[in-house]
Structures are given as C-alpha cells and as structure tokens.
Amino acid sequence: MNTPCELCQQNGGELIIRTTQWRIILVNDANYPGFCRVIWNDHVREMTDLSSADRAELMRVVLEVESVVREIMQPEKINLASLGNVVPHLHWHVIPRYLDDAHFPAPVWAEVKRVASPESLATRSARLPALRAAMIERIRAT
C-alpha cells in the first residue's frame, strides 16, 4: 500500500522560497527557532536519485541556508541531517543548536534533557524576521 507523501502534498512548513527544483521552509518548532528544511520538489528518496547537477544545486542551497542561519541565529553549532526514515522524500534539515537548547548535545529527535529558558527562546524568535529577509535576499542572489 502506498502512503501519500506529505512533502508532495504540502509545503512542510512556512514557505520562504520556492523554485522549480527546491523549496526552503521555516519549521514551526518553538524549541528551535530558525530550524529550516530544504526540500527537493520532485519525489525522490535519496541523493543518488538526482543527477550530478541536481545534487550540486541541492547542496549549494543547503550550504547557503546553513550560512544564513549561522549568521542571523548565531548558534553554537549547526546540525545538518537528511534522514527520510519517516518521510521518504529527499529533504535536508538545517538546525541551529545552542548549549542550552532542549536536547544539546544530543540530536533534536532524542530525549529532552532540559527546558530552554523562555528568555533565550524569545531572543532567538526575535531574529526570525531578519532570517526570512536574509534568506530571500541571499538565496535569490546566487
């Protein structure tokens, strides 16, 4: 039985930029302001399902998103992940990480270790308008 693909049917979050090949989504996660996904529009499961040129384009965008997230969100670390175990549609997670975030140093999908302070989360959330603007300006310029 084929299950409908949620990333084929919906954006997967707040749409920041969409091209014919890919889209950048801002994930609505209160614990991780600035968490983005870069989603390949066509339904493919793995990086090797893409041509060399398409792989290069996707990685160019992932790395540019990482650069913008680092600059604007000022995390201690960035996590890049392409899992697709739950949703087997090619996408990359770009996740800003902080020493006081709910899971650090474990992955964001691990057991919660602490509650991030409301002040820290508010500071990070306040950067989201600048993140959106920088993403649009930078990614379209490349």
Q: Quick check: is 63 in a domain?
A: yes
Does some domain include residue 1? Answer: no
Q: How many domains does the chain have?
A: 1
Q: At what angle do helices 128-141 and 52-73 cross, to 10 degrees?
A: 150
The pLDDT of residue 141 is above 90: no
127 found inside a domain: yes
pLDDT digits 0-9 by tens, 68-121 = 999 999 999 999 999 988 888 999 999 999 999 999 999 999 999 999 999 999
Confidence label for 142 from pLDDT (cuts 50, 70 and 90): low
Per the prediction, the chain carries an average pLDDT of 94
Question: Is 32 part of a structural domain of the chain?
Answer: yes
Q: Give the pLDDT mean for 37-43.
A: 96
- Measured distance CA(140)–CA(61) in Å, rounded: 10
pLDDT band at 1 (very low <50, low <70, confident <90, very high): very low
Residue 47 and residue 30: Cα distance in Å, rounded? 29
- Host domain of residue 78: 6-141
Rounded to the nearest 10°, the torsion over CA 54, 3, 87, 137 is 50
Q: Is the pTM value of this prediction over 0.85? A: yes
Please say whether the beta carbons of 73 and 97 come within 8 A.
no
Residue 86 located in a structural domain: yes
Position 103 scores a pLDDT of 95
Q: What is the CATH number of the domain that holds 90?
A: 3.30.428.10
**Paired tokens of 119:** 């002040």
